[in-house]
Amino acid sequence: MKDVLELCGYFDLPAKPVSFKECRVGHINSTYFIDCEDGSRYVLQRINTAVFRNPEGLMRNVFGVTGHIRKKLIASGADPSRGTLSFVKLKDGRLYYPASDGSAWRVYRYIDGVVSLQSAESPDLFAAVGRAFGVFQRQLADYDASELVETIPHFHDTPSRLADLRASVSADPVGRAALVSDEIAFCESYSKVCGYITEGIASGRFPLRVTHNDTKLNNILLDEKTLEPVCVIDLDTIMPGSVLYDFGDSIRFGASTAAEDCDDYKSVKLNDEMFYAFSKGFVSGLDGALTRDEILGFPMGALIITLETGIRFLKDYIDGDVYFRVEKKNHNLIRARNQFALVKDIESKLGKLDGFVKDLVSAT
Ligand code: ADP
Ligand code: GN1
Ligand code: MG
C-alpha cells in the first residue's frame, strides 16, 4: 500500500497534506479524506483498476462531465464548487497518478458540510434525491456521448450479466456453486424477461441518454443541516444508457425496507411510498424530457436492475468475492438473497405500481 500523504504530494494541492482518514463506504474504490495544513480538505481515491481497466479514459470522462456541469452551474448562478466535483490535476498536468504497482490515484476537493446516507429517512427526502438525479440527467442531456469512453462494457446489459453468472457456475473456481443452486435457479427463471431494458433500447422504445448508472443513495451528497441534495458523486460509470438504469438502481437501494446487506432477507420489501416519492421527484427533475414509455417502464426497470444486481452479487460469491468489497462471512450471498427478496416483492406489487405510473403519465 502506497503512503497516502506521499501520494498527495504528486497533486497540485495549494497546501501541505498533514493527516488522513479512510472512508469505508462504497464497494469498489478506496477513499481517503485528506486534511491540509491550511484547513482545506481533499479526497484521495484509489481507482479500482481490476474493475476500471482504462483509468485514463475514465478520468477523461469525469473531467469532461464535471467541466460541462460546472459551466451550467456558473451560467445559472449556482455555486460550482458544491454542485459538482472539482478534480485536481497532478503537478505535471496529468489527470491521475499511475503508481508503479499498477494502482491509479486521483484527487478532488472535499465538499464541506455534507453527509451521504445509507437509507432514505423519509419519502420527502427521497423525492428530493429523485429530483436531483433527474436534474443531473438533464444537465448531461446535451453532452456529446461520443466523447465518453465505455468504462465498463455491458455494465447494465442484464442478459450478458446472466451469461457471466452461467460462466462462473461452470468454472466454479472455489467450489461454491453447489451451495447456491436455488439462487441460480431463481436467476434462470427470469431468463426470458431479463432483456426488458436492453431489448427496449435496441427497438428504440427506450432512448439512449447519458446516464450515471450507479445511482445509490450514498452516491449523492446531502447538506448536513437541511438534507437537501448538494452533489452527485461517483461518476466513474457515466456512459450512454437508459434512464431506467438510474431509476432502477436508486429504487433497489433507497426504496428497500432494509439495508442491502441486512441479515434477514425476509425483512426486505419494496417501500411503495418511497417508490412513488422517488418517481415523482425524478420525473420533475427531468422536466418533461422523459417519454411516456420510459415512465411506464419504471416498475419493470426497478425489477430488472434489482435482479441484475443480485445476479452480480451471486456471481461474485461463486467467484470467491473478487469484485465487491466484503466485510462479513457470506457477504455477497447475503446481498444477493436480499436483492432476490426485493425482486419477488416488486413482482407481487407490479399491478399497483403500473397503476401508479399510468396516473403519473396522465398528470405530466
Ligand atoms: P465507490 O466507487 O467506492 O463507491 P465513491 O466515489 O462513491 O466510491 O466514494 C465513496 C464514499 O465516499 C461515498 O459514498 C461518500 O460517502 C464518500 N465521499 C466521497 N466524496 C465525498 C465528498 N466530496 N464529501 C464527502 N464524502 C464523500
Ligand atoms: C457498486 O461503487 P459503489 O459502491 O457505489 C457497483 C454498483 C452496484 C453497487 C451495489 C462500478 O457501487 O454497480 O450497484 O456497488 N459499482 C460498480 O451496491 O460496479
Ligand atoms: Mg459510491
Query: What are the tens digits of pLDDT across the range 29-60?
Result: 999 999 999 999 999 999 999 999 999 999 99
User: For position 78, which CATH number holds?
Assistant: 3.30.200.20
Which listed ligand is nearest to 221 at the C-alpha?
A: 1
Segments of 65-127 assigned E as strands: 87-88, 97-98, 104-109, 114-115
Which residue range forms the structural domain that includes residue 240?
A: 123-363
- For residue 290, tell me if it sits in a domain: yes
* CB of 335 shorter than 6 A to ligand 2: no
Residue 8, burial from CB neighbour count under 10 angstroms (0-12, 13-18, 19+): buried
pLDDT at 364: 84
Q: In the 8-state DSSP scheme, what is residue 326?
A: -
Residue 115 near ligand 1, beta carbon < 6 Å: no
The DSSP 8-state label assigned to residue 189 in this structure reads T
Question: Are residues 219 and 81 part of one domain?
Answer: no
Interval 172-195 mean pLDDT: 98
In a domain, 167, yes or no: yes
Q: Find the 82 Cα to ligand 2 centroid distance in Å.
A: 23
Residue 1 pLDDT more than 80? no
pLDDT level of residue 2 (50, 70, 90 thresholds): low
| 114 Cβ closer than 6 Å to some ligand 1 atom | yes
* Region 17-24 average pLDDT: 95
| Count of domains observed in the chain | 2
239: CATH: 3.90.1200.10
Same domain, 107 and 128: no
Q: How many angstroms from the chain centroid is the CA of residue 65?
A: 16
Asked if residue 293 belongs to a domain, the reply is yes
- Asked if 171 and 70 sit in the same domain, the reply is no
Which of 82, 112, 142 marks a domain boundary?
112
The pLDDT value recorded for residue 157 is 98
| Within-domain flag for 118 | no
Regarding whether 90 and 48 lie in a shared domain, the answer is yes
What Å distances lie between residue 339 and 121, 161, 302, CA to CA? 20, 15, 11
Q: What is the mean pLDDT of the chain?
A: 97
Domain identity same for 312 and 248 = yes
